[in-house]
Amino acid sequence: MSETGDSAGISDKTATNDSVGIKGMGTIKMLKPGEHKINIAHDPIEALGWPAMVMDFSYKHGVDISQLKPGDHVNFTLEKSDDGYAINNINKMAN
């Protein structure tokens, strides 16, 4: 018999998806710094099973939106937060 007994290093695999950055891309429609939100027309987000839509995203403290403006094409990553999914990284794309 070969029993490794090494189960201590094996974590709960059901938690894996939440800890990986969820990638999205889209076009900024409106910046709402007063609400700490960005309104984005985003492409489908496969990891969440979301279709393309226009919606507000909260963004985490520390995310710099000062270089962004409506019409910018962006890619971003989301992380799960208390009230849904919040942007934790957002970058302007070349075009």
| Comparison of 70 and 84: residue with beta carbon closer to Cu ion | 84
> For residues 55 and 63, which CB has a smaller minimum distance to Cu ion in the complex?
55
Q: Checking phi first, is residue 15 left (phi over 0); if not, alpha (psi -120 to 50) or beta?
A: alpha
Which lies closer to Cu ion via its Cβ, residue 6 or residue 82?
Answer: 82
Task: Name the amino acid, one letter, at 25.
Answer: M
Q: Name residues contacting Cu ion, limited to 42-61 (CB under 5 A).
A: 50, 53, 55
The answer to whether 38 and 91 are in contact (CB under 8 A) is: no
Shortest distance, CB of residue 94 to Cu ion, whole angstroms?
Answer: 23
Binding region for Cu ion (CB under 5 A): 50, 53, 55
